[in-house]
Chain A
């Protein structure tokens, strides 16, 4: 296992060097600058900018669907406007406005579909869909930052940085940080095989923000698991996960949400290692989605698993509660976490 990890880490580091070098115009100059200059931005710099900097940026968010069996990879580029009003916390007020799908006329079915998606899920795109420093202390323990020199982005002077995880089963981030404001102008996510998983590219930037209506999430943020369970009416079957397989992750946020259509509750526990995230979602009072599967017998333990290069999603049902553990595709330790949660649910019931 150690030998495999070493070889993968070595390969990833070598490939990372090639990718970054290919992305730079003056390859040797960039490498020389990395040796000559200390990093001008750190994770702390980025964290501070999130808490204190107002800005308005129009950016293109690219949703990359990896190739699957019989299906080619695809990319959907969506233009959006992000307005951020800092409030001193890691979760500033924001408004994310859908502007259009690149190459699609306004009013087309695809345009309308994405418009609806942004209206419902803007909070997820802003909070979880790009590079952010979510916990500075933990991020410093789990990531290293490497400076790859000066670049120009949207006509502004910026710094190209690579945020490299200490564990090989996490994403590698290539970011370009505005020199003046330390706001992220470009973020590309790669897996250890240097497959592009996501990209957000600014096309215009203003270091101020006008009046806007902040996005109002339908989910309620609570202090912890116990508070969330109380807010949901103390339903039976909920499990507070014990993070054995993912010990470097910390509980970042607990949200509860009530569906106005059917009155069902959902608790979402978000865990972070400082930059990466995974979620454990629990929905009590739901039927067993696997009950109709051939071969499924009462009492059998099955976890449905979807995994590609971009995401992992594990779903299972126990005691009237539907569970989902979801994260990035490279984080295969989520399989062990899902089993642990399942066993916890079985023992509680």
Chain B
């Protein structure tokens, strides 16, 4: 139903300008001069208010949407669509198959034989040689440690001997350092009496 427009305030341009202005979005938009004068804009403001109120309320969904069957139907439709459109889906969905041919059939004969054959043991002679080499290496390192220890000990003994010979005589007591503390008044004694007349 259309409302009559005011011939002064009811021009389409004036109505558009009013509805887009902040004045129309205020709480008291219905009290605006244009709204009072233009019934169409007043009706539009009323609809706007009703719509705002409706949008603020969360609608309650229908109970049928929450059922198990409804959700299962949605999943089936999704799977059917994937199966119909994808080339990989059948492979993923299907079972794992065994290789079509043995490994040897696709490799070089010599390589396949080598891979299939376990490696041979080095032999007892070689193992003894490895053992001797390891023991020899350990012996060398031990000798080096003993050599270093002996030289360090000799150097320490030499330093101690030098200190004992050339160092301070431990039997002689070091001269104590005497410090002077200045007094603010003369101590009692003969010279204080001679100079001051009495002990002060």
Chain A residues packing against B (C-beta within 8 Å) = 63, 65, 76, 78, 113-114, 116-117, 121, 124-125, 128-129, 197-198, 268, 278-279, 281, 290, 293, 300-308, 310-315, 324, 326-327, 335, 339, 342-343, 346
Contacts and interface: CB of A to CB of B under 8 A. Distances in A.
Interface stretch (B77-85, B120-128, B141-149, B172-180): B172-180
B193 interface: yes
A160 B12 CA distance: 138
A63 B183 contact: no
Given A124-B190, A305-B180, 5 more contacts: A65-B195, A114-B198, A302-B180, A306-B182, A306-B185
B181 A303 contact: yes
Contacts of B176: 301, 343, 346
Contact of B186 (A113, A116, A301, A313): A313
A88 B198 CA distance: 31
Nearest to A130: B194
Interface of B: 175-187, 189-198
Nearest to A270: B190
B191 A305 contact: no
Given A63-B197, A78-B197, A121-B198, A304 B191 contact: no
Contact of B180 (A125, A278, A279, A303): A303
A301 B179 contact: yes
Contacts of B189: 279, 281, 313, 324, 326
A114 B178 contact: no
A113 B191 CA distance: 18
* Secondary structure dominating the interface of A: strand
Contacts of A124: 190, 193-194
B195 A311 contact: yes
Contacts of B190: 124, 128, 268, 279, 281, 326
B181 A306 contact: no
A278 B22 CA distance: 111
Contact of A305 (B175, B182, B193): B182
A113 B198 contact: yes
A313 B191 contact: yes
B180 to A, nearest CB: 5
B169 to A, nearest CB: 16
Given A63-B197, A65-B196, A313 B187 contact: yes
Contacts of A117: 193, 197-198
A198 B196 CA distance: 10
Contacts of A290: 181
Contacts of A315: 183, 187
A69 to B, nearest CB: 9
A312 B183 CA distance: 11
B192 A326 contact: yes
Contacts of A342: 178
Nearest to B188: A324
A63 B185 contact: no
A129 B196 contact: no
Contacts of B187: 304, 306, 313, 315, 324
Contact of B183 (A116, A268, A304): A304
A324 B182 CA distance: 14
A335 B193 contact: no
Contacts of B180: 302-305, 314, 335
24 contacts: A65-B196, A117-B198, A121-B197, A125-B194, A128-B190, A129-B194, A197-B195, A278-B191, A281-B189, A301-B179, A304-B180, A304-B182, A306-B182, A306-B183, A306-B187, A308-B186, A310-B195, A311-B191, A315-B187, A326-B190, A326-B191, A326-B192, A339-B178, A343-B176
Nearest to A278: B191
Contact of A311 (B177, B184, B186, B197): B186
A117 B181 CA distance: 29
B196 A306 contact: no
Nearest to B178: A301
B76 to A, nearest CB: 97
A63 B195 contact: yes
Contacts of B182: 304-307
A305 B184 CA distance: 9
Contacts of A293: 181
Contacts of B197: 63, 76, 78, 114, 117, 121
A121 B185 CA distance: 20
> What 8 pairs between A and B have smallest CB-CB spacing?
A326-B191, A306-B183, A117-B198, A301-B178, A121-B193, A311-B195, A305-B180, A63-B197
Nearest to A281: B189
A198 B181 contact: no
Contacts of A301: 176-179
